[in-house]
Amino acid sequence: MAKEHWIWRCDRTIPSDTGAGRAVLCELLGQLQACCWPEHDVFDVHLATEEALVNAIKHGNRFAPDRCVRIRCHLADDLIRIEITDEGEGFDPSEIPNPTEPDRLESPGGRGVMLMKSFMSRVEYNTRGNRVVLEKARGKDADAPRNGDPAD
């Protein structure tokens, strides 16, 4: 992979509080808008990061006040990378059932990881499953099929 020229970075450690996560997300989206990223891409990054933050705070740290979430962001002209690490036990994303299967379609939850994979260019978990890296390439995906869009 070519070495990226980062034009903005942030490294924040927040408590297990979704409001604190959204403050960082708001800052990140502001950077994308300041760099004139397409509205569609900003929406995608917003959705995926929102889902990843909720997963980290709610399912990873279980809202524990003594656990933190670390959010690292790197922005280049044509790429945004967001790394979110919680202090939970982790999980195996491959064990999450497909929420589009007929017997899962009416389940009220279980769509977050699928949406992250669909709306981002790359989603990768560490082995323990408590850290996720999200990447979005600017513009390139605008007209392409979504990564997680299952074939009919």
- Which residues are near other proteins by CB under 8 A? 18, 22, 40, 43-44, 46-47, 50-51, 54, 99-100, 105-109, 111-112, 114-115, 118, 146, 148-150
- Give min distance, CB of 4 to other proteins, in A: 26
Q: Pick the closer one to other proteins by CB: 95 or 127.
A: 95
Q: How far is the CB of 115 from other proteins (least distance, A)?
A: 6
Q: How far is the CB of 45 from other proteins (least distance, A)?
A: 12
Query: DSSP states of 45-65 as a string?
Result: HHHHHHHHHHIIIIIISTT-T
Q: How many CB atoms lie within 10 A of CB 111?
A: 15
**Which is nearer to other proteins, 6 or 43 (by Cβ)?**
43
Question: Taking the alpha carbons of 78, 43, 104, 144 in that order, is the dihedral positive or negative?
Answer: negative
Q: Nearest distance from residue 138's CB to other proteins, in Å?
A: 16
Minimum distance of other proteins from residue 117's CB (angstroms): 10
Q: Which pair of tokens denotes residue 3?
A: 């070495």
Q: Which is nearer to other proteins, 70 or 146 (CB)?
A: 146
Q: Is the Cβ of residue 72 or residue 146 nearer to other proteins in the bound state?
A: 146
Sign of the Cα pseudo-torsion (27, 31, 37, 39, in order):
positive
Q: How many other C-beta atoms are found inside a 10 Å radius of the C-beta of residue 105?
A: 9
Q: In the complex with other proteins, which residue's Cβ is closer, 57 or 68? A: 57
Query: What is the CA angle 40-59-123, rounded to 5?
Result: 40
Q: Give 79's strand partners.
A: 137
